[in-house]
């Protein structure tokens, strides 16, 4: 047990572990909605969408997280605007917006000579997290998860049938806006741990793994959150002992966990289907 407990003797590792737990719970819960709606790439678009906001806020000495939130949310409006003004499908609109905001963000960070490290933004640095970062992540997680609990039924109707939800009189536009805001906040919370590029891995990977193992939405969220905590912790220890970047370590751990479920899931696993076909 020494290998498990020794790293926690350091303050920064305890803070890191707490941050990974919070993000590990938050991101898969929100990612579940993306999986069910088949909109996983939207999380990637929002992840890149925060970059210009970070650069502009840093240059103007404004709150960095406020700039990231505003610009990340704006990226979703750009997708909706492109769809409304053309015959372009949603996947194409997301791909165009993704590349545009990523390019703009990197350009602004370079031109403005931002004090924000591009490498840390893209790939994360969970080992540099301090107490203020933990409190920030905790506040975001509490806000988003509280909203998810309070509006679970509305989100459930919207997720499985936006048209049906609208027919029932639910405020579909406001529900969609709230979901986009939750996705953006989850990306911002994960930004410090795994970076904006790999934040989608923690958002979608555990949720997708849970999707292979359970059926009901609430069980997907619960199992996805548990897997997010497990993958985040395993990646953190891997980063510490192997001296590799924390973001990629967590991303690879998420993918390894998904592969295990893909092969060994009782109902949807490759080996399970092979055995059933053989019988």
Tens-place pLDDT, residues 215-233? 888 899 999 999 999 998 8
Taking alpha carbons only, the member of 18, 20, 75, 33 closest to residue 204 is 33
CATH H-level superfamily of 2-273 = ABC transporter involved in vitamin B12 uptake, BtuC (1.10.3470.10)
> Who has greater pLDDT, 187 or 119?
187
How far is residue 35's CA from residue 187's CA, in Å, rounded to a whole number? 16
- Rounded mean pLDDT of 110-123? 70
In Å, how far from its chain's centre is CA 128?
20
Q: How far apart are CA 247 and CA 225, in angstroms?
A: 18
Alpha helices in 124-171 (DSSP H): 131-150, 152-160, 162-167
Per-residue pLDDT tens digits for 44-81: 788 778 888 888 888 888 887 888 889 988 988 898 88
pTM score, whole prediction: 0.84
Chain-wide mean pLDDT for the chain?
83
Confidence of residue 120 (pLDDT cuts 50, 70, 90): low
The residue written with tokens 């498990």 in the block is: 4
Overall average pLDDT of the 190-210 stretch: 82
pLDDT above 90: residue 143 = yes
266: DSSP letter: T
What are the angstrom distances between the C-alpha of 44 and each of 39, 187, 251, 267? 10, 9, 14, 29
Helices (H) and strands (E) in the chain, counts: 13, 0
> How many CB atoms sit inside 10 A of residue 22's CB?
25
Is pLDDT at 100 greater than 60 in this prediction?
yes
Q: What pLDDT digit, counting tens, does each position of 238-255 carry?
A: 887 888 877 788 889 999
Mean pLDDT of all residues in 31-36: 88
Quote the CA–CA distance of 55 and 75 in Å, as a whole number: 15
pLDDT grade for 155, boundaries at 50, 70 and 90: confident
d(CA 219, CA 168): 25
Tokens of 123: 């790939």
39 and 173 Cβ atoms separated by less than 8 Å: no
The pLDDT value given to residue 62: 82
Within 2-39, where are the H helices? 2-5, 11-36
Kindly tell me the burial class for residue 231, based on how many C-beta atoms sit within 10 Å of its own C-beta (0-12, 13-18, 19 or more): buried
In eight-state DSSP terms, residue 88 is -
What is the Cα–Cα distance from 26 to 43, expressed in whole angstroms? Answer: 14
Beta carbons of 20 and 126 less than 8 angstroms apart:
yes
Cβ atoms 70, 178 nearer than 8 A: no
Higher pLDDT, 165 or 106: 106
| pLDDT higher than 70, residue 2 | no
Longest dimension (CA), the chain: 66
Sequence-separated contacts (24+) of 264-270 with Cβ below 8 Å: 265/212, 265/213, 266/213, 268/212, 268/213, 269/212
| All structural domains of the chain with their residue ranges | 2-273
């Amino acid at each position: 047990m020494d290998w498990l407990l020794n790293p926690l003797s350091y303050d920064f590792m305890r803070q890191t572990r707490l941050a990974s737990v919070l993000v590990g719970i938050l991101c898969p819960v929100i990612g579940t909605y993306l999986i069910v709606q088949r909109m996983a790439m939207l999380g990637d678009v929002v992840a890149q969408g925060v970059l210009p906001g970070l650069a502009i806020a840093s240059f103007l000495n404004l709150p960095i997280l406020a700039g990231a939130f505003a610009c990340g949310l704006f990226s979703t409006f750009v997708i909706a605007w492109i769809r409304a003004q053309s015959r372009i499908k949603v996947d194409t609109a997301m791909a165009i917006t993704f590349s545009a905001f990523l390019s703009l963000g990197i350009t602004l960070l370079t031109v403005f000579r931002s004090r924000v490290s591009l490498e840390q933004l893209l790939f994360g640095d969970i080992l540099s997290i301090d107490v203020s970062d933990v409190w920030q992540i905790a506040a975001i997680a509490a806000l988003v998860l509280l909203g998810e609990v309070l509006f679970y039924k509305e989100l459930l109707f919207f997720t499985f049938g936006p048209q049906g939800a609208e027919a029932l009189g639910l405020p579909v536009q406001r529900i969609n806006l709230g979901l986009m805001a939750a996705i953006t906040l989850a990306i911002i919370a994960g930004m410090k741990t795994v970076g904006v590029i790999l934040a989608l891995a923690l958002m979608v990977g555990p949720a997708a793994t849970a999707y292979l193992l359970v059926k009901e939405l609430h069980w997907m969220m619960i199992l996805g959150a548990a897997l997010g905590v497990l993958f985040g912790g395993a990646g953190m220890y891997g980063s510490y002992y192997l001296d590799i970047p924390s973001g990629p370590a967590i991303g690879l751990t998420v993918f390894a966990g998904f592969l295990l479920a893909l092969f060994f899931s009782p109902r949807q696993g490759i080996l399970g289907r092979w055995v059933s076909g053989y019988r």
